[in-house]
């Protein structure tokens, strides 16, 4: 399927819901096709809209979904997308793992800390006993060298994985996904905080807060020191930008191709 991809602040987001996104990922895993996926919330969308190189990378990915309610609302308000639900990264992770277990398609977990990966692997194995986790690789929390980047790709290919989940944080995970998906020739999903959620390190917001687009507030209460600057800057920029787009401002939807590659690890 080829879903519509309208732009919000110049960032092209696919008008799909959770079941459709899951089907696209599983089909690519079945056919061993490259598929770069980003679950994009307000923070990532604003970063990409203000950085031409990141904008190009995100817009070049094969599947970008509305992780946050405000992104879903913008798609509906600006483009009449008619989306009834967002595609929350942690939910997409679980549904893809469910499909991977049914398809007997091994998955690989890339990013975060060794401790988080250990808890994540344990949690996913309990939820999906038939899920095969082909391997894990924690983040180096610094740019990878050219050799390290090549070694990581080789290790993933050697593991037999057919789907890779990436938890490096935005925008590092989008850069890594953009740069590796063609080499890996499999779905590579940048799912951010999904690792922490399913490792039991973050709590889900109450359903009423999630439906109301207040998940950011719940996360801010949990991690005020880390998140207050992010939300204080990106949320107003996003709201103002969406209103400006509704009033007719033309946001450039094509970013320039980056001149040099960045290898987060």
CA distance 31 to 14: 21
For the beta carbon of residue 62, count every other beta carbon within 10 angstroms.
18
Question: Helices in 37-127 by DSSP H: which ranges?
Answer: 42-50, 52-60, 69-79, 89-103, 114-127
pLDDT at position 263: 61
How do residues 114-170 score in pLDDT, each as one tens digit?
999 999 999 999 999 999 999 999 999 998 999 999 999 999 999 999 999 999 999
* pLDDT attached to residue 212: 78
Compute the half-sphere exposure of residue 56: CA atoms within 13 Å on the CB side of its CA: 10
Domain 7-200 grouped into CATH 3.40.50: yes
Supply the pLDDT for residue 2. 66
Q: How far apart are CA 54 and CA 127, in angstroms?
A: 35
The pLDDT > 90 percentage for the chain reads: 75
Model pLDDT for residues 7-51, shown as the tens digit of each residue: 999 999 999 999 999 999 999 999 999 999 999 999 999 999 999
In DSSP terms, 191 is beta-bridged to: none
Give the count of beta carbons closer than 10 Å to the beta carbon of residue 24. Answer: 22
Residue 65 φ then ψ, to 5°: -115, 160
**Per-residue confidence band for 105, with pLDDT thresholds at 50, 70 and 90:** very high
pLDDT at 206 over 50: yes
Threshold 0.85, pTM exceeds: yes
pLDDT at 256 over 50: no
The confidence score (pLDDT) of residue 253 equals 41
Extents of the domains making up the chain: 7-200
Q: Tokens in use for 20?
A: 């459709």
Q: Please identify which residue in the block is written with the tokens 């399927």.
A: 1
Distance CA 57, CA 54 (A): 5
* Distance from C-alpha of 205 to C-alpha of 161, rounded to nearest angstrom: 32
- Residue 195 clears pLDDT 50, i.e. is over it: yes
H/E stretch holding 187: strand 187-190
Mean pLDDT in the chain? 91
Q: Would strands 107-111 and 63-66 be described as parallel, antiparallel, or unpaired?
A: unpaired
- Count other C-beta atoms under 10 Å from residue 77's C-beta: 14
* pLDDT tens figures, 63-103: 999 999 999 999 999 999 999 999 999 999 999 999 999 99
- What are the tens digits of pLDDT across the range 207-255? 887 777 787 787 778 778 877 787 788 999 999 999 999 998 887 544 3
């Amino acid at each position: 399927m080829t879903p519509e991809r309208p732009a919000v602040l110049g960032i092209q987001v696919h008008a799909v819901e959770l079941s459709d996104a899951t089907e696209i990922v599983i089909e690519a895993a079945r056919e061993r096709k490259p598929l770069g996926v980003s679950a994009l919330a307000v923070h990532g969308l604003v970063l990409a809209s203000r950085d031409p190189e990141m904008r190009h990378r995100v817009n070049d990915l094969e599947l970008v979904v509305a992780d946050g309610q405000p992104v879903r609302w913008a798609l509906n308000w600006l483009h009449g997308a008619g989306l009834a639900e967002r595609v929350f990264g942690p939910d997409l992770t679980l549904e893809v793992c469910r499909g991977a277990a049914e398809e007997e398609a091994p998955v690989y977990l890339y990013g975060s800390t060794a401790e988080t990966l250990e808890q994540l692997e344990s949690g996913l194995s309990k939820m999906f006993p038939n899920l095969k986790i082909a391997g894990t690789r924690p983040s180096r929390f610094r740019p990878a060298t050219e050799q390290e980047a090549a070694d990581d790709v080789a290790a993933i290919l050697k593991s037999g994985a057919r789907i890779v989940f990436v938890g490096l944080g935005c925008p590092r995970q989008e850069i890594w996904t953009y740069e590796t998906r063609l080499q890996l020739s499999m779905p590579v999903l940048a799912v951010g905080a999904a690792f922490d959620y399913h490792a039991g390190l973050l709590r889900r917001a109450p359903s009423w807060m999630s439906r109301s687009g207040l998940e950011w507030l719940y996360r801010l209460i949990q991690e005020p020191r880390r998140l207050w600057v992010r939300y204080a800057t990106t949320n107003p920029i996003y709201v103002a930008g969406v209103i400006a787009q509704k009033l007719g401002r033309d946001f450039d939807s094509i970013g320039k191709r980056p001149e040099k590659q960045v290898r987060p690890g």
